[in-house]
């Protein structure tokens, strides 16, 4: 698989399991990946629902930069986030954001549907974020 295989529109379904509060939140929306020079711009927007609160619109943007057999992912402001390999069907990566640690496991075994599961741990954080992507159109 190459980074260009991700270009397009994706239905995004995300579950956020907060182990500290026992609550589950949900985001439903769309992710769009488009060429930006030699890189790929990732933009998502969705309806985020937390228990007991009115829904809100949430957005997120990254830049995917192809790198050998993988991809470097950068935050919108240009800071490096993590790198994962496209040579594996279930690559893993991590990101240290002191005092918290973010671990991700991608799953490409059901391509063109795919997923990413983040586990976040820190002094005041203990949650899992499961995101599923299904190609649109």
Q: What are phi and psi of 3, to 5 degrees?
A: -55, -35
Q: Which domain holds residue 111?
A: 3-136
Task: Give the confidence band of 1 by pLDDT, cuts at 50, 70, 90.
Answer: confident
Q: Mention every residue, 6+ apart, whose C-beta is less than 8 A from residue 22.
A: none
Q: What is the CATH number of the domain that holds 59?
A: 2.40.128.20
Stretch 99-126: mean pLDDT: 97
The reported pTM is 0.93
Task: Give 55-91 pLDDT, tens digit per residue.
Answer: 999 999 999 999 999 999 999 999 999 999 999 999 9
Tally of structural domains, the chain: 1
């Amino acid at each position: 698989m190459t980074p260009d295989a991700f270009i397009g529109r994706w239905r995004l379904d995300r579950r956020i399991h907060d182990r500290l509060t026992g609550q589950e939140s949900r985001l439903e929306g769309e992710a769009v990946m488009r060429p930006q020079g030699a890189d790929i711009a990732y933009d998502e927007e969705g309806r985020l629902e937390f228990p007991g609160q009115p829904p809100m619109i949430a957005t997120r943007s990254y830049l995917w930069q192809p790198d050998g057999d993988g991809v470097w992912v950068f935050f919108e402001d240009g800071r490096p986030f993590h790198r994962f390999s496209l040579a594996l069907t279930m690559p893993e990566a991590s990101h240290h954001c002191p005092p918290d640690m973010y671990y991700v496991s991608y799953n490409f075994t059901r391509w063109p549907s795919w997923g990413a599961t983040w586990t976040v741990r820190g002094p005041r954080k203990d949650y899992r974020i499961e995101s599923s992507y299904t190609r649109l159109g």
